[in-house]
Structures are given as structure tokens and as C-alpha cells.
Amino acid sequence: MIKNISRSALNLLIGVLLTGFTLTNKALAADGKGLFKQNCAVCHAMTDQKLAGPGLAGIADRAPKGDWLFNWIKNNQKLIKAGDAYANKIYKENGNAAMSVFEGTLSDDDIKAITEYIVNPPVEVKPVAAAGAAGDVEVAKETKGGIDPLYLILAIIVILAILITILRGVRNSLSSVAHNTPEEELSKTFLQEARDWSKGNRRLIGVFCIILLLIGMRGCWNSLFMIGVYYDKETDKGYKPEQPIKFSHKLHAGDNAIACQYCHNSVEKSRHSGIPTVNVCMNCHKGIQTGPQYGEKEIAKIYAAAGFDPKTGTYDKTKENPIQWIKVHNLPEHVYFNHSQHVVVGKQECATCHGNVKEMTVVEQKSPLTMAWCIECHRKTDVATEGNAYYDKLHAFMKEKYKGDHRKTFTVAEMGGLECAKCHY
């Protein structure tokens, strides 16, 4: 009995160890995938295709066994100088082009993870896309519900006109039967009666006109605050146009954690964030030729724009065709907005104005970007003065001005952020 229990326990222990080993290998390969993308994918493809370096398909069968691949990735120059036959063969076949040396840059564990990924890449199961999936979603603007106030006012005017006409007819009929109204009064038209009534109630008409004027002025003021929401539909909140290339920010900025500044590289130096050139795309996609969401279809459009032939790895400038990206966030021409001032000096995150782009497959305008929205932000946002030399002089002035309040923080509005000339010039 004890012997059977011991054997069962031994089998269980072996099973646990094998499972742990398998899971460790899978985790190692998963970590290696990210490291491979960051360090190797620009020069090597996981297929037979040759990029700057040879394709890695079947490398486990071609390369010497044991730790050779690990040592090659760690310091290929060391292997070549040591006279390793296979190392020198690869070196000569690739035109004596030196591969990067990762010794000192990557740890041994990182190199082991990359090696495991290259030898045993995890099999990715692609889900079958249902009709209307995210990749094929029709991009449309939000439709606003409710009744247009103008139509409501017109309907009320029509109803009142009908009621007045009916009641006026009833009154004239009753007066005619009772013979208590002069004939000339009954023969007056509606406009004549309205004119006579107005003459007798001038004060009431004056008050009514003043009220209408004030309501109209208030409506105009509110409308100016909402420019960009109701008048320019292309800058409306919820606007998400279909781009010439289906670029997923969720995949790039979210899943792959690529910094916004890598593509929008002028956001810290200019008033404009900058639209990335096709060269920026090619930094990665010269090596990454198949995407997890759209396959090769969308990446092929990048190659067409760059005049790049993925089979030969060469460029043809005569075939270059710049990508016509569609701008999502637009401001009126009379509005001045400086990205570097907000990002570098104001220390604002991109998501403050653009929403959580890292979760967007198709980028859309999340904030209204109206004058009222900007003013409200300036009223409630504290200026990042701590350790910010840009504001040292102004911060000292504000502390002196409000020294009785024992204030430590000040909003943008309190530092002049509501002055008209700040945004309109």
C-alpha cells in the first residue's frame, strides 16, 4: 500500500515538474517574442525571406546543436574570430556583414528567451472574424437624437396660428348673432386687429421684444462656445474617419507599447504633433511584413507608398506615393494651440485631450475641443510648477500675490490662461 502511494506521489511530482517545465518554456518563448521584435525583427524574418540578414525558418535544423545559437546571438564576432566553421560560413554568405553583438546589452536570460522563441515559436491561433468585426467595421459619425429646437418652435407657431384663427372665427360668429359689435369691427382683417392691439399695448410689446433680444444674444453666445460641434461636422465629437491604411493604435501604442513620440516626433518641439512619414513605418515594417490583425494587406500599402519591393528588399523612388492620412482632431484657423507648451511645459498626457488612444483600433475624437471645454480645463487644472524652471518667476509672483491664502498651487486660469490673446491672435 505504501509502495503504491509512493509511486503515485512520484508520478504526480513528475507530472507537476513536466507541466511547470512546459509552462516555463511557453512563458520564455512569449518573452522572447517581444525581445525578438525589439532587437532582431528589423534584420531577420521568421520565414525564409531574407532581409538585412537571413530568414530564420528551420534554423534549429541548420545550426549546430547545443549552445551554438545562444553563443552566436550573444557575441557572433567572438565565434568568427575563434574560427568556428559554421559561424564563418554564415559570415561569408552574407557579404561579411557584421551582426549586432548583444553581450552587455541583453542578459543571458534575455538571450535564452530569444533563442527559445526562434527555435520553438508559439503557434498563434487566429480567431475567425465574424461579420462586422472590428477590422471591417464601417466608420460612421455619431447621430444625435432628440428634436431640433427650431422645428419645435415652428410647430408651436403653426399651432398657435391655427388656434387664433379658429377662436377669432368663433368670436366673430357670436358677435354677429348677438348684434353687439359694430359692423366695421367685424370686417377687420387679422393683421388690422393685431396692429390695433399693438398700439394699445406698446409697453407689453416693448418688454416682449427686450426678452426676445436677450434670449437671442444668449443663444449667439452659447453658439460661439460650441463652434466645432454643431457647425463643422468634420471636427465633431465622435468623428472617426476611415484612413487610407487601417492602422490600429491599440496594437501599436497599446499592445506593443510604442511611445506616442516615436511616430509623432515633433510633439515636444513644435506646436504641431506631426504626422509620421512612411520612413517611420518602414523602420519596423521592413522586417515585420505580416500583421496579427490585417495580415499582409495593409502593410503592402505601406510598401506601395514607400516604393519598396519586399522580395528584393530594394526601394524605387519613382514609385513612391505619400500616404494621405486624414486629420481627426481639427481646430478653427483662428485658434492657436501649441503641443510642446502643453506636453513639455504643462506636462499634460496625450490622453487629456485625445482620450485613451491606446485602446482605440480606429482613432476618434473623444473630446469636443470647444472653447468652453478648453476654458473649463484651464479653470480646474493646476500648473505644474514643481521643478519646472519655465514657471519659476511666475510662481514666485503668484505666491506673493496670494500669500495671505497660503496657496501652493495655482490654476492655468489664475496665471492668465483665460486671456483672449493666448489662443486668438
pLDDT of residue 229: 46
Q: Break the chain down into helix, strand, coil percent, rounded to 5.
A: 55, 5, 45
Percentage of the chain beyond pLDDT 90 is 17
Q: Please name the amino acid found at residue 391.
A: Y
Q: How far apart are the first and last CA of the chain?
A: 92
> Does domain 2-119 correspond to CATH entry 1.10.760.10?
yes
Res. 240 pLDDT band, cuts 50 70 90 = confident
pLDDT of residue 358: 93
Taking phi over 0 as left and psi of -120 to 50 as alpha, with beta for the rest, 108 belongs to: alpha
pLDDT digits (tens, 9 = 90+) for 16-52: 444 444 444 444 455 777 777 767 876 787 877 776 6
Res. 139 pLDDT band, cuts 50 70 90 = very low
CB atoms within 10 A of CB 112: 18
Cell numbers for 161: 396660428
> Domain residue spans in the chain?
2-119, 149-227, 370-425
Among 180, 227, 47, 68, smallest CA distance to 121 is for 47
Higher-confidence residue of 14 and 302: namely: 302
Res. 186 pLDDT band, cuts 50 70 90 = low
Asked if residue 247 lies in contact with residue 139, where contact means CB atoms within 8 angstroms, the answer is: no
Among 418, 345, 351, smallest CA distance to 378 is for 418
pLDDT digits (tens, 9 = 90+) for 58-93: 888 888 888 888 888 888 888 888 888 888 888 888
Higher-confidence residue of 144 and 339: namely: 339
Percentage of the chain beyond pLDDT 70 is 79
Higher-confidence residue of 384 and 338: namely: 338
Q: Which of 20-34, 75-89, 237-251, 276-290 has the lowest mean pLDDT?
A: 20-34
Query: Which SS3 state, helix, strand or coil, does residue 256 take?
Result: coil
pLDDT digits (tens, 9 = 90+) for 347-360: 899 999 999 999 99
**How much is the mean pLDDT over the chain?**
78
Q: Which of 348-362, 371-385, 396-410 is modeled with the greatest confidence?
A: 348-362
Asked if residue 226 lies in contact with residue 367, where contact means CB atoms within 8 angstroms, the answer is: no
Res. 124 pLDDT band, cuts 50 70 90 = low
